[in-house]
A and B are shown apart, each in its own frame.
Chain A
């Protein structure tokens, strides 16, 4: 029996975020929240291997009550059990405090039913830190394979996993002992269409709620803002750049606009020799 655990996050859809041009504030209203796209692929991979090997997929998330929507989405994709870790005392957690809570929860689940693989998305699109996966792995002393693009083999008998990961210059195939952790790129698995039984199951599925009250206890000094080594000192909007000249083919003609543009580019010192084009 294969037991996969996937740690997911519900995030604002950052591609839909807009800035109020007058106040320069983030317009949060009406911004849809979604299951972090990389996490969706991590769930897909976990489900794919559950179907190959037989077993169970448990999904966990730390977040507000509204995150049950994303947990249900994972159930719809074929996950079997979902846990919402939610408490006001967790609020304001940085990646250090987040990885503390997640690793305590994973330890407890592992004690109930041993976990073979812990999946994460490579990063969440709201914070883009990519730190929680490695943080949890270090706390649990698990081998971690980041930027995973393909799971070649899960050998439950010999307790080995073979995973391909992407680095800047090449792909590496890594063999590690189980249990292990991985952070997933989108290539790890295609998002499956929900099967009818999974869809029906997800509609009436109620995720479990874990809080500071139970079923496990947490060290209160490690939680939320208080347990976070980093703090946000200030926030702002990025500096506005001033655009340069704009020319129009409708006015200068295509050839005219192109000649004007090239003349301006080549007038920059060093550009003519860089491009191998004379002025």
Chain B
């Protein structure tokens, strides 16, 4: 028997979403976690990607570099852009054909839309927004299952979810929750083109127009440096100061939910449970108290600097370094100091 660990390779406009590679890394680790069972049973485990789009063979080949043993892809002009029904139908057919044991999908807007539909259509369970995945036995001696752990109640509780009797065991995972696997220079896997006809019955909606291209303006998920502001800014103008520091450090602007709800700044800047998960090398949290909903979105950052007037703010519990002080004094001083050091370097 072949135990297949599947990853949905997401693409838009012929570009793969990086979360797909992160998930291939996770799938490989999960496959390794059942090695003991494979040795006993003589089964094999495969990490496989599945991809839908038009002119996407290059993406299928790229997936091999991130550890896929096989990538199945469907290439048809009718599925150039993501649409719920044709993508769901194609994925459902492939799942039925290959019967994967596990299927991981990026928890992006498109990925969540697709995963919920495929799970319903296949008739299996799906765990959303998982933050930890492992293959483990719920009881000693029992066959290993996907243990999908996720936050609930706004991050106040974490729950481990099982899908015992239905396959595949599906989970969505947010971008940046797991790190990137190393790129393999000379991969051994293969790509397989699947001939699935896209029929008119599969099309029940059409894209009539693409609007704003936000991609070029903000993409906080993959930023290395984020300077984020919270309610402590006191007013929307505070974000000008946040932006000035972010620009000085080559970073982008983040925000807590309170600021987004108050319309001080756009949703695309929101970090946290209902915003984006980020893991930059440097996260500066200014005037953010550190509610659990915010912390779950940024606690994996390599270095967290918190600036807050309140010495008891929960943000200090996860900060690598904290400054208790007025952000309107600290940040301008920081900008001056950085400029001085840059000049010293060039001068």
**Chains A and B are bound partners:** yes
**B316 touches which one: A137, A246, A262 (CB < 8 A)?**
A246
- B interface majority secondary structure: mixed
B88 at the interface (CB under 8 A from A): yes
Nearest CB in chain B: distance from A173 CB, A? 4
Contacting residues of chain B (315-345) with chain A, CB-CB under 8 angstroms = 316-326, 329-330, 333-334, 337-338, 341-342, 344-345
Nearest CB in chain B: distance from A75 CB, A? 25
Contacting residues of chain A (223-252) with chain B, CB-CB under 8 angstroms = 228-238, 240-250
- Cα separation A147 to B281 with both chains bound (whole Å): 30
Interface hit among B40-48, B53-61, B69-77, B119-127:
B119-127
Nearest to B345 among chain A residues (CB) is A278
- A129 and B129 in contact (CB under 8 A), knowing A164-B211, A169-B213, A231-B162? yes
- Cα separation A32 to B291 with both chains bound (whole Å): 18
A200 at the interface (CB under 8 A from B): no
Nearest CB in chain A: distance from B299 CB, A? 6
Count how many pairs of residues, one from A and one from B, have CB atoms less than 8 Å apart in the complex: 284
User: Could you say which of B127, B147, B205 has the most chain A C-beta atoms within 10 Å of its C-beta?
Assistant: B205
Contacts of B121 in A (CB 8 A): 138
Contacts of A144 in B (CB 8 A): 84, 113, 117
CB-based contact B319/A257 at 8 Å: no
Contacting residues of chain B (117-168) with chain A, CB-CB under 8 angstroms = 117, 119-121, 123-129, 138, 147, 151-166
CB-based contact A134/B117 at 8 Å: yes
Contacts of B155 in A (CB 8 A): 238
Assign chain B's interface to a size class: 35 or more
- A257 and B322 in contact (CB under 8 A), knowing A128-B274, A168-B108? no
Contacts of A238 in B (CB 8 A): 151, 155-158, 292, 296
Contacts of B215 in A (CB 8 A): 168-170
B208 at the interface (CB under 8 A from A): yes
Residues of B bordering A, CB below 8 Å: 12, 17, 81-82, 84-85, 88, 108-110, 112-113, 115-117, 119-121, 123-129, 138, 147, 151-166, 204-215, 224-225, 249-250, 273-274, 281-282, 291-293, 296, 299, 302-303, 305, 311, 316-326, 329-330, 333-334, 337-338, 341-342, 344-345
List 17 other contacts, CB 8 Å, given A138-B121, A233-B162: A15-B293, A18-B156, A96-B119, A128-B273, A134-B113, A147-B113, A168-B17, A169-B213, A170-B212, A175-B206, A230-B125, A236-B159, A257-B323, A257-B325, A271-B281, A274-B281, A275-B338
